[in-house]
Amino acid sequence: MGEAERGEAAPRQNVTYFCSHEHRSVVTFSVEAVVPASWDCPRCGLPASLDCDNPPPAPKIEPYKTHLAYVKERRSDQEAADILDEALQTLRTKRKAGEIIF
Ligand SMILES: [Zn+2]
């Protein structure tokens, strides 16, 4: 009983952190502790900050995804070009056949 009372008597502060996924994490610090400006979100692992209106962007994952999306975009463009080329050749073949008939 004495120890529990001593623990509750220790002054604490609740600090709320916000990540870019709009997770709100309340972390309890001792009032004597230096509160860090950023904290890893316990739910998604992204860095979270004290400013709810301006959470830090995801630094490591987003650029990789953007690059991957860029590569996929280029690949699909190439596929689209191939499909268009194939369609044009089919059209030309049909047109030639039509010229023979008419
Ligand atoms: Zn989060």
35 falls in which pLDDT band (50, 70, 90)? Answer: very high
Rounded to the nearest angstrom, the distance between the alpha carbon of 41 and the centre of ligand 1 is 5
Full-model pTM: 0.49
Rounded to the nearest angstrom, the distance between the alpha carbon of 55 and the centre of ligand 1 is 10
Which tens digits make up the pLDDT trace of 39-73?
A: 999 999 999 999 999 999 877 655 556 776 766 77
pLDDT beyond 60 at 33: yes
Alpha carbon distance 20, 42 (integer Å): 13
More confident residue, 39 or 99: 39
15-21: average pLDDT: 95
Considering only 1-5, 21-25, 46-50, 73-77, which range has the smallest mean pLDDT? Answer: 1-5
71-100: average pLDDT: 80
> Three-state SS for 18?
strand
Alpha-carbon separation of residue 60 from 49, 57, 93 (angstroms): 16, 9, 50
pLDDT of residue 8: 62
CA angle 86, 88, 89 (to 5 degrees): 65
> Three-state SS for 26?
strand
Rounded to the nearest angstrom, the distance between the alpha carbon of 21 and the centre of ligand 1 is 5
The alpha helices in the chain, defined as continuous H runs, are: 2-9, 61-101
Rounded to the nearest angstrom, the distance between the alpha carbon of 65 and the centre of ligand 1 is 18
Rounded to the nearest angstrom, the distance between the alpha carbon of 68 and the centre of ligand 1 is 23
Rounded to the nearest angstrom, the distance between the alpha carbon of 17 and the centre of ligand 1 is 9
